[in-house]
């Protein structure tokens, strides 16, 4: 912003590591005059605080968008490509075209409509990225809780698809679900569909 770029978008994703569900990315252009208090890496906040900040961010941001890439699409490429594609989709879904993007991590998503900078631990260094991390995490958690209603045997509402002992045991007992589970991830990688 000091160099004259007005609209800076923060980008982050949630759900690279789980065995089930999509990877979700968010893009947020904060209003510099209304930056919410308490923005931080979503993993360092309680679920209740993330929910509170989600509402504040969506109410005060100049623009925000969320996008996801499904488990079958992750399996068709790889998790990094899928996460970067979700990021690109989120930015392209914004109502405003940003002048610059700040992205959490080491990689810049290809096909962005603006120049971008990758920041390691960006969700702790940039309030814009922190806001995006909150939107991505809350959205994905809500998606997995909703999915858990359709697949109650897997406990998705409690672990969001991560490789907990309960989830691994449920997959062993009931089998993985095509379209939900990531068959390119261990322990499903060698399993026949």
Q: What was the pLDDT predicted at 193?
A: 52
| Its pTM surpasses 0.85 | yes
Alpha carbons 192 and 52: distance in angstroms, whole number: 42
Q: What was the pLDDT predicted at 2?
A: 75
Q: What was the pLDDT predicted at 188?
A: 87
Topology of the domain covering 8-174: Nucleotidyltransferase; domain 5 (3.30.420)
102-158: pLDDT as tens digits: 999 999 999 999 999 999 999 999 999 999 999 999 999 999 999 999 999 999 999
For the chain, give every domain's residue range: 8-174
Measured from the Cβ of residue 19, the count of other Cβ atoms closer than 10 Å reads 23
- The rounded radius of gyration (Å) of the Cα atoms in the chain is 17
Q: What was the pLDDT predicted at 71?
A: 97
Q: What was the pLDDT predicted at 3?
A: 80
The stretches in the chain having pLDDT less than 70 are: 1, 191-193
Alpha carbons 62 and 35: distance in angstroms, whole number: 10
Question: With contact defined as beta carbons under 8 Å apart, do 109 and 11 qualify?
Answer: yes
Strands 116-119 and 100-104: parallel
Question: With contact defined as beta carbons under 8 Å apart, do 34 and 179 qualify?
Answer: no
């Amino acid at each position: 912003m000091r160099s004259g770029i007005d609209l800076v978008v923060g980008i982050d994703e949630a759900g690279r590591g789980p065995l089930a569900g999509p990877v979700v990315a968010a893009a947020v252009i904060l209003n510099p005059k209304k930056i919410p208090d308490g923005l931080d890496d979503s993993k360092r906040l309680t679920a209740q605080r993330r929910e509170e900040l989600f509402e504040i961010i969506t109410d005060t941001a100049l623009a925000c968008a969320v996008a996801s890439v499904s488990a079958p699409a992750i399996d068709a490429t790889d998790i990094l490509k899928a996460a970067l594609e979700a990021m690109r989709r989120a930015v392209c879904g914004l109502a405003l075209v940003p002048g610059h993007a700040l992205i959490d991590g080491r990689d810049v998503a290809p096909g962005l409509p603006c120049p971008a900078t990758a920041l390691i631990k960006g969700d702790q260094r940039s309030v814009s990225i922190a806001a995006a991390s909150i939107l991505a995490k809350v959205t994905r958690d809500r998606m997995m809780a909703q999915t858990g209603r359709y697949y109650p045997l897997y406990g998705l509402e409690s672990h969001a698809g991560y490789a907990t002992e309960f989830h691994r045991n449920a997959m062993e007992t009931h089998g993985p679900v095509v379209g939900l589970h990531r068959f390119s991830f261990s322990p499903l990688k060698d399993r026949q569909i």
